[in-house]
């Protein structure tokens, strides 16, 4: 039996999160009531909502497969043979700056 990836609207996600945050029902009961296959999905939505605090938490970020923040790597596909040491240094500095933006907590 194949699994189907369900896509839930932002409004439904917000409704589910608010139902949980009112404190009247457990995550499991809410998942059952809204026919969410796994309670961990509800947990993830609650966590995102608490972090951002609005419906914007559920907007997907467009990405090109790598770089989860939606910013393209400006150095992807660039050559790696350099004419001089300064060129190589500038290349690696740009790589470091890009990675700092992508992973600010490191």
Q: Are 51 and 40 in contact (CB under 8 A)?
A: no
Categorize the per-residue pLDDT at 2 as very low, low, confident or very high, splitting at 50, 70 and 90: low
Q: Are 72 and 64 in contact (CB under 8 A)?
A: yes
Q: What does the pLDDT read at residue 64? A: 46
Q: Which CA distances in Å does 54 have to 14, 49, 68, 102? A: 8, 6, 20, 23
Would you kindly state where each structural domain of the chain is located, as residue ranges? 10-58, 67-106
Give residue-wise pLDDT tens across range 52-97: 877 776 776 544 454 455 566 666 666 567 788 998 898 889 888 8
Can you give the pTM of this predicted structure? 0.52
For the packed helices 10-21 and 39-52, what is the interaxial angle rounded to 10 degrees? Answer: 90
What burial class does residue 98 get, using C-beta atoms within 10 Å of its C-beta: 0-12 exposed, 13-18 middle, 19+ buried?
Answer: middle
């Amino acid at each position: 039996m194949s699994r189907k990836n369900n896509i839930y609207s932002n409004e439904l996600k917000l409704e589910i999160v608010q139902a949980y945050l009112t404190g009247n029902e457990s995550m499991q009961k809410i998942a059952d009531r809204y026919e969410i296959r796994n309670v961990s999905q509800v947990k993830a939505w609650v966590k995102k909502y608490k972090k951002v605090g609005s419906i914007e938490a559920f907007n997907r970020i467009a990405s090109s497969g790598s770089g989860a923040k939606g910013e393209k790597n400006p150095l992807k596909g660039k050559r790696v043979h350099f004419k001089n040491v300064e060129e190589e240094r500038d290349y690696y500095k740009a790589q470091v700056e890009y990675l700092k933006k992508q992973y600010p907590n490191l």
